[in-house]
Amino acid sequence: MRRTFIALFVAALTVLIWPATALAATDPGLGTAGNFAVLAGTGTSLTNTGPSWITGAIGAAAGITGFPPGTAGPQHNGDAVYIQAQTDLGNAFSNASGQPVTTDYTGVNLGGLTLGPGVYNQSTAPTLTGTLTLSGGGVYIFKAGSTLVTASGARVSLINGAQPCDIFWVVGSSATIATSTTFVGTIMAQIGIQMQTGATLNGRALARTAGVTLDTNRIIQPSGCAGGFTASYPTPAYVPPPAGNVLPATLGVPWELLGSFPWLLVIGAGAGLGAAALVIGSRRRRRRSA
């Protein structure tokens, strides 16, 4: 009887946990690219207009302009640090691109949806109008087959333990973050990235083969990633705001870890304890009747 109970308990745990883990997104592994807030593509430049405020390192191969009036962390222009970061970015891009898809949302506006951790695919240019809510601790990977373009004022909101450091956008072409958009996560674009006036990014803007253009943007490189879902990076050094700054010092993303609690494991354990209680109760009844 004891062996039968143990076998049933293990089977219950497997049935409950396997569907969530089989298609779970995993850390694509940014390597040294994770130490950058902005990275322009190989052979290209990073150009800023206006009082952008970048907390984290920035890098390019063919020049960095616009700082000042913008402010940023360490600048790497075509040096060994930049070259290694681009190599690591390429590896991370390939890893994320190859992960199995949880759900295909091709042709669906992500605005208005609430999604949990997973790998989401949009073969054509994804649409983000309104608010996309990400709920729960874990890795999120969004794969865009072509361009990524948000609507003005679009927003990515995090609840229940979702964290900027665990969110990745893999863009097959270029990304455009429209005016006043509040965006979250690491953008890995095959070509270039444009952030329009007033857009903010709690994450990274990492381009592979074309330039990055900024215009009065606030970007904060994620650090100290709790939960253990992805690699944790050191907190970037303090960067003072630029003269004429109109953007917030922080981007208001919650860091609580309630959503990262392993509820599936608790449910499975509860099911096992329930089964144990039934078995014990049955044995006691048989003894009494005997």
Domain ranges of the chain: 2-20+263-289, 28-258
Instruction: Give CA–CA dist 234/175, Å, rounded.
Output: 26
**Cα–Cα distance, 223 to 207 (Å, whole number):** 20
| Range with lowest mean pLDDT among 10-24, 80-94, 99-113, 256-270 | 256-270
pLDDT in tens, 123-181: 987 779 999 999 999 999 999 999 999 999 999 999 999 999 999 999 999 999 999 99
- Report yes or no: 72 and 265 within 8 Å, Cβ to Cβ: no
Closest by alpha carbon to 62, among 214, 176, 210? 210
Higher pLDDT, 132 or 274: 132
Q: What does the pLDDT read at residue 81?
A: 98
Q: How many CA atoms lie within 13 A of 113 on its CB side?
A: 14
Contact indicator for 135, 115 with CB cutoff of 8 Å: yes
> How much of the chain, in percent, has pLDDT values that exceed 70?
79
Tell me: the pLDDT tens digits for 28-76? Answer: 999 999 999 999 999 999 999 999 999 999 999 999 999 999 999 999 9
C-alpha span between 90 and 39 (Å, rounded): 12
Q: What local confidence, expressed as pLDDT, does residue 251 receive?
A: 82
The per-residue pLDDT of the chain, averaged, comes to 85
Task: Please tell me the least confidently modeled range out of 102-106, 110-114, 135-139, 257-261.
Answer: 257-261
pTM: 0.81
Alpha-carbon gap, residue 201 to 254, rounded angstroms: 14
User: What token pair was written down for 107?
Assistant: 């042709």
Q: What are phi and psi of 170, to 5 degrees?
A: -105, 110
Distance separating alpha carbons of residues 53 and 73, to the nearest angstrom: 9
Lowest-confidence range among 79-88, 175-184, 272-281? Answer: 272-281
Q: What is the mean pLDDT of residues 13-34?
A: 69
State pLDDT tens for residues 205-224: 999 999 999 999 999 999 98
Report which of residues 262 and 210 the model is more confident about: 210
SS3 181: coil
